Structure 1
Amino acid sequence: MPMATLDPQQVLQRVLLATLPGVLAMFWLYGWGVLINLLLAGGCALLVDTGVNRLRGRRLSDLSSLITATLLALALPPYCPWWLCVAAVAGGLLLGKHLYGSNRNPFNPAMVGYALMLVAFPQPMTHWPAPHGLDLLAGVHQVLGLQGDTPDAWAQATALDALRINKSLTIDELFARSPAFGFFGGNGSEWVNLAFLAGGIVLLRQRVFSWHAPVGMLGSLFVISLLCWNGSGSDSHGSPLFHLLSGATFLGAFFIVTEPVSGPRSPKARLLFGAGVGVLTYLIRMWGGYPDGVAFAVLLMNLAVPALERLAATKQPAVNA
């Protein structure tokens, strides 16, 4: 089915359904905190959209805000404080979407909300739980701040953060000693990334979006990590497989860089856009101040969209025979 024949509401519904494998994988890995995030984010998105549309005298028109909320809920740490999830969704929708009117936002709303929280509240944004989760009651208490003096033993650094701050251990030693590492990437995040890959492949087969932006991001991330990889030494930046299977790589490749409003329109510009996101993600991961760079990479490339469109529209000069 050509992409042009898809109804916008059907597209949004398919994108939401395609996140289900990743949601289930994250629930299996982290427990109830994932579902709590989704409920908080979805409820906040509904309230924000209802309030803004009433002020404008309009009805709720589509599911785009719910997708923004879902992506933020999946990107935020499970069991993060309730106010962090609410502030991320409200900030992303108000500053990243409604501020510019209907479907005119130049920046990805989900990444706007995520970046705002990462800059304003860096400590809770990097407080990821170990892959066992909490039971439902303990999870609700943690989210609401009712845990009292509960120790933080259930939380740990992510694999990307452990690699970024490593100064002495080899890669083999990191994988052997740190619980944050799995077989090839982050412990558990390998399966989460593969689950989002499965959902992304379904969307590609249904022609919800083209292959250009995902392939551009994954391809450039693979190439630059391969060029900068120097084996298993203590100064190694990790293998290409490690970077593909850690952090929010496949969530970013199939559900974030493919956002149609803030992204490019032409296929060539989408390919360049994805490639830029992949390179910037790697640079921020290795030399930036944050363990994962997808959000800032997307926002920086959003700024470059007009230039990418002009570059893609430039015709090659004819060559005389």
Structure 2
Amino acid sequence: MAFILQSAPYVHAPTSVAQVMRYVLYALLPAISVYVWFFGWGVVVNILIASLTALWVESLMLWLRACPLRPFLQDNSALVMAWLLAFALPPFTVWWMTVLGVAFGLIFAKHVYGGLGNNPFNPAMVGYALLLISFPADMSRWPSVYALTEHYPTLADSFSIIFYGQSISGFTVDAITGATPLDSMRIGLGQLHPVSEVKNNPLFGLFGAKGWEWVSFSVLLGGCWLMYKKIIGWQISLGVLGGLFTLASVFFFISPEHYPSPLFHLFSGASMLCAFFIATDPVSAATSNQGRFIYGVGIGCLIYIIRTWGGYPDGVAFAVLLMNMTVPALDYLTRPTVFGEK
């Protein structure tokens, strides 16, 4: 597959692929720490399972493709994919689902297209979409802050729940999980309850869900650090958040009791993770600055449309994958003027 690149002259990049990927992993650490504080060690176990699976699958596929193992394993791209997918999964997802999602994403969204740099779709979102479509009930089992006040899972509990379905102390995953704020809002509005009534649920905090607001804020801080280090540009992130915020503001202004506030959408679900870590994937996103902004706006609008009128409470994976399909057209239509041409 031929990709449209900007014209010469080219400048040697001051950082390598491995360094860029390490910065992405570092930027996720604050959000992971906050995640553990509020919701237990499940996300750490998921990351461990996903990382081991990613390294094994990456090695296997490189061997089958007769590629050298060391340079490609050391670029950290497989680990970034694994961490993003593990972070997006419910923290007590059964182990084999995490393995399936990582393996499917790496094999069918990365290596069948020729490896890093050739994949038209975001591998993490391909793996996530497979799990969401195949196992919708399991993918909706998210922990509640209130349930965790009685049963806060330790690291040993998290291992036991993920591998055996029950903690060491005896409580099951059903005792600590429930509907997410996005799902609760969607169901409540579908039953003709006003937004103010739905938000009386103790799940909700100031903007979104209690606990999840802080996770989203930590992701925002990590994303801003990546922009400061010039690992990602501002165009896609601003486009995603701006598109989501603008569309949500229009409908909130029309009927605030039928459509949640734009801040609810920004700080609920995977909006921040999408804006700074998922949509900014340099391979599957648009390449020109104008194309990147349009690409981000499209993702933000699709997230709102799927959340509001679609069959899934959060539409990040589908929004990203749908906009991945438009990248060749965006790159063609927004090509910058070649030096020396009018």
Alignment check: 8 A CA contact 2:302 2:315 kept: yes
Picking from 30, 35, 38, the partner of 1:21 is 30
1:115-264 correspondence runs (5 A) = 115-131=129-145, 132=148, 133-147=152-166, 150=172, 152-166=174-188, 167-176=191-200, 178-229=201-252, 230=254, 232-233=256-257, 236-264=258-286
d(CA) in 2 for partners of 1:152 and 1:54?
Answer: 41
d(CA) in 2 for partners of 1:107 and 1:180?
Answer: 34
d(CA) in 1 for partners of 2:51 and 2:157?
Answer: 21
Post-superposition offset of 1:149: 8.0
Cα 1:250–1:3 change in 2 (3 A) is farther
Deviations for 1:34-76, whole angstroms, at most 9, x for unmatched residues? 1110100001001101111122232141111100000000000
Q: Which residue of 1 aligns with 2:6?
A: none
Post-superposition offset of 1:146: 4.1
Post-superposition offset of 1:314: 7.7
Question: Which amino acid counterpart does residue 251 of structure 2 have in structure 1?
Answer: C
Alignment check: 8 A CA contact 2:165 2:172 kept: no
Deviations for 1:63-115, whole angstroms, at most 9, x for unmatched residues? 11100000000000001100111111001111111111122000000000000
Alignment check: 8 A CA contact 1:3 1:207 kept: no
TM-score, length-normalised on structure 2?
0.87
Question: Which amino acid counterpart does residue 190 of structure 1 have in structure 2?
Answer: E
Post-superposition offset of 1:3: 9.4
Alignment check: 8 A CA contact 1:186 1:247 kept: no
Alignment check: 8 A CA contact 1:214 1:253 kept: yes
d(CA) in 1 for partners of 2:173 and 2:113?
Answer: 43
Deviations for 1:126-151, whole angstroms, at most 9, x for unmatched residues? 11111224223332221113428837
d(CA) in 2 for partners of 1:179 and 1:37?
Answer: 27
Post-superposition offset of 1:231: 5.0
Post-superposition offset of 1:171: 2.1
d(CA) in 2 for partners of 1:221 and 1:266?
Answer: 21
d(CA) in 1 for partners of 2:174 and 2:207?
Answer: 26
Post-superposition offset of 1:155: 0.8
Alignment check: 8 A CA contact 2:54 2:102 kept: yes
Q: Which residue of 1 aligns with 2:8?
A: none
Mean Cα deviation higher: 199-208 or 131-140: 131-140
Question: Which amino acid counterpart does residue 191 of structure 1 have in structure 2?
Answer: W
d(CA) in 2 for partners of 1:284 and 1:191?
Answer: 24
Question: Which amino acid counterpart does residue 227 of structure 2 have in structure 1?
Answer: L
Cα 1:179–1:86 change in 2 (3 A) is farther
TM-score, length-normalised on structure 1?
0.93
Deviations for 1:192-222, whole angstroms, at most 9, x for unmatched residues? 1100000000010111121000000100100
d(CA) in 2 for partners of 1:243 and 1:301?
Answer: 19
d(CA) in 2 for partners of 1:3 and 1:245?
Answer: 37
Matched, 1:46 2:55: yes
Post-superposition offset of 1:313: 2.3
Alignment check: 8 A CA contact 1:226 1:240 kept: yes
Matched, 1:108 2:122: yes
Sequence identity percentage: 45
Picking from 74, 77, 100, the partner of 1:87 is 100
Post-superposition offset of 1:9: 1.6
Picking from 76, 83, 89, the partner of 1:63 is 76
Question: Which amino acid counterpart does residue 132 of structure 2 have in structure 1?
Answer: L
Alignment check: 8 A CA contact 1:3 1:208 kept: no
**Aligned to 2:268, what secondary structure does the other structure show?**
coil
**Aligned to 1:104, what secondary structure does the other structure show?**
coil
d(CA) in 1 for partners of 2:280 and 2:203?
Answer: 29
Question: Which amino acid counterpart does residue 277 of structure 1 have in structure 2?
Answer: I
Q: Which residue of 2 aligns with 1:319?
A: none
**Aligned to 1:91, what secondary structure does the other structure show?**
helix
Unaligned runs of 5+ in 1: 316-321
Question: Which amino acid counterpart does residue 209 of structure 2 have in structure 1?
Answer: G
Alignment check: 8 A CA contact 2:82 2:124 kept: yes
**Aligned to 2:137, what secondary structure does the other structure show?**
helix
Mean Cα deviation higher: 166-175 or 215-224: 166-175
